[in-house]
Amino acid sequence: MLNILAVFGVLCIALTVLAFAGNYTIILFKTGSMDPTIPQGSVAVVHEIPATEVKVGDIITVDREPGLKPITHRVIAVEQLGGGEALISMQGDANPNPDPEPYRESTVRKVVWHIPGLAKQVVWLSHPYVLGGITLGAALLVLWAFWPRAEAARRKH
């Protein structure tokens, strides 16, 4: 059992390092603007790329002005502006009209893959009490694993 948990721990560490080094993050879909491709309540892994690499048909996330949340929609047009920037027009798959204005970007986050219906679980796992319980459980497991065994102590005497 401890070997399985150790492998899981190493896997988590490796994925964290890869995510950090490769500019991968997770986003949650709170609206249905990308239905049916990416339903409301989905979780997606996104990878940061230069805006000059964006192609029509890609699903990307762009940041908006302060106070507004990022938006994830399908690219319907790209105009290269030079200097590493692109003017990107987008539209949600479920939306009847394109987004009101194109986005002038130098980097975007491209959707790599998604899992429908996982957002509620991710939100639940990010709750402070749940994170505290997981941390406490892991600490107790490590303590139990390294606690001296009574039979090992008897053999030494």
pLDDT recorded at residue 70? 93
Query: Long-range pairs for 98-103 at CB < 8 Å and ≥24 separation?
Result: 99/71, 99/73, 102/77, 103/62, 103/64
pLDDT recorded at residue 153? 55
Q: Are 62 and 105 in contact (CB under 8 A)?
A: yes
Superfamily for the 25-129 domain:
Umud Fragment, subunit A (2.10.109.10)
Q: Where are the domains of the chain?
A: 25-129
Task: Read off the pTM.
Answer: 0.73
pLDDT recorded at residue 63? 92
Res 156 pLDDT > 80: no
Q: What is the pLDDT of residues 79-122, one digit of tens each?
A: 999 899 999 999 999 999 999 999 999 999 999 999 898 777 77
